Amino acid sequence: MLVLPLLLLPLAAGPPPTALAPAVLLQEPEDLDDLFEEFRDKLKGKGEEGRCLQILDELVQRHRAAAERIQEIDELLEIGEGKASDLKKEKKALRKKQAEIARVVWDVFVARKRPTEPNLRLWKAAVYAYGQMGEDGPPYLWRAFEDKRFNRDVEFRALCVEQVGYTKDYSQWKELVDLLDYKDEGVIAAAGNALAQFGDAPGAIRRDCVEVLVKRLESYHNRASNLEDTTSARIYGVVREPMIRALSVLTGQNLRDPLDWTKWWNNNKNDRSLWRDR
């Protein structure tokens, strides 16, 4: 069962679905070090992209299986079942394994340097993989976003930003809202799409995100109201839907007009009942 099935399709394919299949801890190869070694070896060979994609998928499954076991351990510790010291030791080992997996995935960017079509497929696959690695993903996604190789590739950089949202690492909210005021509308839209994944974030984070989203949305709307400013109209056309989608997810409201969002915010920004943790 592939976790990253769409990565085997042409590059024009959209992002993978948000609802992912249950994790499966693969039994072969049993030793992660062997899988890491094979991955690094295949990355050096031409025409090995298919196997590299398969290994990336396996690594994601391993990472996710570890995450599920960590959740089980946390639940056992909470209810006082099992030997706490052994459980904590196992959890530490699993976190170490997850960190190692994330580091090895970055080898895609180290081994493949030139922007060829096969390499771009692998780079995108790695970005999608990081989007499914929780808190291990964002450091590498931001690293890819800032990589000079992709300075002119707005689509790729936007993908990196969007996948930060899929990690559900809510500590990344500030970095994402900062990108709502960016030079490329594709990245702004991606930041909106990322924030739309933060519907279960703590209330304080949702409130801070909504405050910035409302202000930015109104600003883009106001600039676009000048019919002679075609650039602002184009930007607003790209960023409007992702930002409204994020606002709807974060607040539970269904408003379409930026001015209605501003009015709603002014009336509800201090309503504590709206900003409780979900």
| pLDDT averaged over 10-residue windows placed end to end, the chain, 278 residues | 47 39 42 96 94 97 97 97 96 98 98 95 98 98 97 97 98 98 98 98 98 98 93 97 98 97 98 95
Query: 171-185 burial, b for 16+ CB within 10 Å, e for fewer?
Result: ebbebbbebbebeeb
pTM for the whole structure: 0.89
Buried b (16+ CB within 10 A) or exposed e, 122-134: bbbbbbbbbbbbb
Which residues touch 193 (CB under 8 Å, ≥6 apart)?
162, 165, 242, 245, 246
CA angle 216, 140, 206 (to 5 degrees): 35
pLDDT of residue 227: 84
Q: Can you give the pLDDT at residue 168?
A: 98
Distance in angstroms (rounded) separating the CA atoms of residues 42 and 274: 51
Taking the C-alpha atoms of residue 209 and residue 177, their distance in angstroms, rounded to an integer, is 6
71/235 Cα distance (integer angstroms): 42
Q: Which residue has the tokens 């070090």?
A: 33
Average pLDDT, the chain: 91
Q: Identity (one letter) of the amino acid at 31? A: D
**Secondary structure element (H or E) that encloses residue 244, with its range:** helix 230-251
CA-to-CA distance for 104 and 162, rounded, in angstroms? 21
